[in-house]
Amino acid sequence: PFVGNPRQPMPEGLPFKLEDYLQLLDWTGRCLREDKRGAIPANLPPILKRLNIEPKNWLYSAQHFEKSFKGFAGKLDSLKQKLPDLGYQRIPNVGVLLT
């Protein structure tokens, strides 16, 4: 888990906040060569700004995903392939997604 800023005694986990980690990923992607996979163009705004998502709302959704969303998350084809592994014959709550 992300445990925030380093301190004593230090809890077990990554010593920074999730928001800081996302910024680090964004920064790293912008440093990669543009001709390589995973590069983020320098002129592209940060992902949450492009999606018009408030950072505090994203963090809440990430931290409370199972409470906020019922059922499964993912591409419909991928979910269908996993049904036998999960012991399901159909995807629960899929009708909600299709209506």
Sign of CA dihedral 33, 37, 42, 47: negative
Q: Using one digit for the tens of pLDDT, what is the confidence trace for 33-58?
A: 667 777 777 788 887 888 788 888 87
Q: What percent of the chain has pLDDT over 90?
A: 0
Instruction: Note the pTM of the prediction, 2 decimals.
Output: 0.40
3-state helix, strand, coil in the chain (%, to 5): 45, 0, 50
pLDDT of residue 98: 47
**Domain ranges within the chain, ordered by starting residue:** 1-55
Task: Of 73, 79, 78, give the one whose Cα is nearest residue 91.
Answer: 79
Whether residue 86 has pLDDT greater than 80? yes
Q: How confident is the model at residue 94 (pLDDT cuts 50, 70, 90)?
A: low
Number of CB atoms found within 10 A of residue 79's CB: 19
Task: Of 26, 20, 23, 27, give the one whose Cα is nearest residue 3.
Answer: 20
